[in-house]
Amino acid sequence: MAAQIIDGKEIARKVRERLIPRVANLQQQGVAPCLAVILVGTDPASVSYVTAKERALAEVGMTSRDIRLPADTTEEALLEHIRDLNGDPAVHGILVQLPLPSHIDEERILMAIDPAKDVDGFHPLSVGNMVLGRKTFLPCTPHGVLVLLRELGIPTKGAHAVVVGRSNIVGRPLANLLSGKDINATVTVCHTGTRDLASFTRQADILIAAVGRPHLITADMVKPGAVVIDVGVNRVEDPQSKKGYRLVGDVDFDAVLQVASYITPVPGGVGPMTIAMLLQNVLEAAESRLGPVCR
Ligand code: NAP
């Protein structure tokens, strides 16, 4: 029997809907939750991510401060923007869209964001708190994956979760969160140093691909009945499409659909959850500070 296709858009819609009364409650107290979004350069994928985030904020009644900077912006100039936003009580969250141009030290920029406004959860203090299991802003994509599993009622306690990819923004935090006492999965992390990747993926009750390689995960790498979460977003050439490309995940969707019990599509799986969790973080940043109304 074919797997159930996980409707990330619908689950994300539910998450966003739950935020609306909380936003209204803040507005009644004169607070408009506000995210400052900084985009350096005009990379088309980054522009579309930023646009989608800002649209989603507006849809739940939150505001954004859109800061678009030229690709040749200096590191110092960017740091100056961040310092201003850190000190601005009308701004509750700061998001610097990654990747940054290569002349800018990404780590230095992320370190400069006030942890109280670190709604992406990338500051080392947020990461440290997450690892210690303390309350903090969780990184949006890993958090979105956990919420997907929870909303679908997929059992995680004692499950073997195999995470392919160990980036700081997806694989590593996801592996950490899955191994937490509340989720209680047994976690294996795979990467380019892993020998015989398939021998690990085939053991997964929950298989998460966060790699960035189209169709890396094939049907023979998946245990029958496994839950397959595809975080990958890859552009592949498609002359049939108006844009000349289409988006695919890291999983060979059509083939794995026949083996798995649940599977996320790309697009429409994890992506919408990432945005929903960002909105939740912005709201929580505003709730915790009750700053004045955004200009
Ligand atoms: P990344 O920083 O490039 O990390 C990729 C990871 O995959 C690395 O740890 C790498 O291993 C591992 N890897 C690469 N090739 C491999 C292979 N053949 N076998 C095993 N492991 C391999 O990427 P990322 O930022 O984590 O993003 C991963 C994917 O998720 C991308 O397609 C990205 O666009 C997508 N993404 C989606 C969302 C969303 O909201 N849907 C959010 C973020 C990212 P090494 O560490 O050994 O190099």
pLDDT at 120 over 60: yes
Centre of ligand 1 from the C-alpha of residue 106, in Å = 17
Q: Could you identify the atom of ligand 1 that is nearest to the CA of residue 193? A: 47
Residue 198 has pLDDT above 80, yes or no: yes
**What pLDDT score does 290 carry?**
66
Q: Are strands 206-209 and 34-40 parallel, antiparallel or unpaired?
A: unpaired
Q: Is 103 in the pocket of ligand 1 (CB under 6 A)?
A: no
Q: Are 206 and 227 in contact (CB under 8 A)?
A: yes
Domains of the chain: 31-114 (3.40.50.10860), 140-272 (3.40.50.720)
Task: State the distance from the centre of ligand 1 to the C-alpha of 259, rounded, in angstroms.
Answer: 23
Amino acid found at 79:
L
Output the average pLDDT for the chain: 96
Pairing of strands 245-248, 234-237: antiparallel
Whether 182 is catalytic is no
Alpha carbon distance 234, 228 (integer Å): 17
pLDDT at 193: 98
User: What's the whole-number mean pLDDT along residues 263-279?
Assistant: 98
From 88, 97, 252, 280, active-site residue: 97
φ, ψ dihedrals at 64, nearest 5°: -135, 150
Structural tokens at position 32: 């408009």
Query: Is 240 noted as a catalytic residue in this protein?
Result: no
Read off the pLDDT of residues 49-90 as tens digits, 9 standing for 90 and up: 999 999 999 999 999 999 999 999 999 999 999 999 999 999
Q: What does the pLDDT average to over 84-104?
A: 98
292 pLDDT more than 50: no
pLDDT digits (tens, 9 = 90+) for 205-238: 999 999 999 999 999 999 999 999 999 999 999 9
User: Across the strands, what pairs with 206?
Assistant: 161, 227
